[in-house]
Chain A
Amino acid sequence: MAAVAGDPTASKAPGRPTKIDPALACQEISGATLEVADFAVTRAFYAPIFATSGGSWDAKSKSTRFQAGTQTIEFVRRARPRSYPNAADHWSYRVRATALPPLVDQLAEQGFAPEWWHEDYPAERGLSAYLHDPTGHRVQLLPSTDGGPFLDHAALEQHDLEAAEFFYTRALGGTVTFSHGWDARDQLGLDDWMAGDDPSAPFTRRVNISYRTKRPAPMPLAHVFVTFGSTRLGLFLAPTHRQEPAPGVVRGTPRLTLRARCSASDLEAHLRIVNVSPVDLKYDGGYVQFERAGNDLFLRDPGGHFVQVTCRA
């Protein structure tokens, strides 16, 4: 099915929805599909991280996947795998708090020394370990004392935070549960960070060179968290533009996977008409680009990230 795109020459279509029927909303982040260069090396890295998740591995010729509960991380082999090292993009896995120190020691011995940072989301204000996997995907090891989903959350960088928020809320039914950068209190501690005394994750802060004074000043780097059930997606404002896939391509990897309880036909009908534009357009635009394949819908978010929604059969 062809991707849907607005026609800038068409007149504005009245009455298109800017909200989603709650029955169509995605229920959880159900996993990801990540490109890697080598399955054996990848599995050797992730096996100790996933060890306490109670899941299992399934190896095939073209992919290797780990499944625990309702979540699956699939690795697909590529000669030149795409990853976003040193961007805000990261995949956050829960690790039992007591198991984290020995796990980090083990990974460090294998050559994957972590950075210890904190973020601003309430559950992430303690230190977590951040490191890159052998391909360059950033991994967060989040100390956990409860039994939530093993993929706690994902984070994707966005060059238009407002557009991204409207995409994930209006089209896919997420709920904004946290914002950083909109509140005066978000500036507390910035001097400590500027002095190197506060281990905030680097993608949560920035140095602003004011267009007026031309002087550097620390500022929060705006981000929001959009919740899907017991999982959440972090949307971080990108400090620089990064190469995106070719325009119009909606099916690719790396890919975030969401699960919806509605039928693919019902969600498809919503995606065909929902208006996700942050601007009150005077033409018939603000459409979502997507393709349907059976019970799956493949989309591309405003930041160029691929998204798959698996609907019920």
Chain B
Amino acid sequence: MADVESLSHTAIFAPNIREAEAFWEGTLGAHLHNRISLNTDDIRRGRGLPHTCWTLADYLIVFFVPDRDDREPGVKNGFSHGFAVSRERFGQVLAMLQERDVAFTGPVTHPEAGPLGESIYLADTGGNRLEICWRRDEAASYSPVVMASA
């Protein structure tokens, strides 16, 4: 067993980084953290194509232009990222997406016995699949992540 401790970050293919940034910032509320390979020092160190790091809540996302041998967007990798909002906020998100003409499916109602309430599904500009949900257990406090001891 790898005994991984937490999700660190996700690298997402973005066919066009500026379009991806506009979607994640304007539609989902992500915040720019930093951009890489847009300065001389980075490219002299061989850090490749421009890529940018964003945070969405406490979640770190890095947008990469697919390189020449991997031009298909991230869908083929099969990852789907789920983000939670409050139940109250969920309806506002739906309204916002409709106002912006952002395509999505749902809302889908999950079983009452489960942790999820409702979800909608959409794709970013690179075709990466996203889920936005509210959780029935949103009032429950989570156990903190316990880091491995030395």
Contact = CB atoms under 8 A, between A and B. Distances in A.
A305 to B, nearest CB: 15
Interface residues of B, number: 24
A183 B47 contact: no
Given A182-B65, A239-B40, A211 B18 contact: no
A38 B15 CA distance: 49
Given A182-B16, A182-B18, A183-B65, A238 B40 contact: yes
Residue in B38, B50, B66 with the greatest tally of chain A CB atoms within 10 Å: B38
B7 to A, nearest CB: 22
Given A208-B43, A210-B46, A222-B37, 8 more contacts: A159-B39, A160-B40, A161-B38, A162-B38, A181-B49, A183-B17, A237-B40, A237-B43
A221 B43 CA distance: 9
A60 interface: no
B50 A210 contact: no
Interface string A1-21: 000000000000000000000
Nearest to B49: A219
A302 B39 CA distance: 11
A237 B38 contact: yes
Given A182-B50, A184-B15, A190 B39 contact: no
Chain A contact surface mostly: mixed
B44 interface: yes
Given A208-B46, A220-B49, A184 B71 contact: yes
A212 B74 CA distance: 22
18 contacts: A159-B40, A159-B41, A160-B39, A182-B50, A183-B16, A184-B65, A187-B68, A190-B68, A191-B68, A208-B48, A210-B48, A211-B46, A217-B68, A221-B43, A222-B37, A238-B40, A278-B35, A279-B34
B43 A239 contact: yes
Interface string B3-47: 000000000000111100000000000000011011111011111
A182 B46 contact: no
Contacts of A211: 45-47
B19 to A, nearest CB: 8
Nearest to B70: A184
A219 B37 CA distance: 11
Interface string B40-65: 11011111111000000000000001
A206 B47 CA distance: 12
Contacts of A187: 49, 65, 67-68, 71
A43 to B, nearest CB: 35
A209 interface: yes
Nearest to A176: B18
A182 B17 contact: yes
Given A183-B65, A184-B71, A222 B40 contact: no
A209 B65 contact: no
Contacts of A159: 39-41
Contacts of A208: 43, 46, 48
Q: Top 7 closest A-B pairs, CB basis?
A: A211-B46, A159-B40, A182-B17, A161-B38, A183-B16, A160-B39, A209-B46
Given A183-B15, A184-B15, A240 B38 contact: no
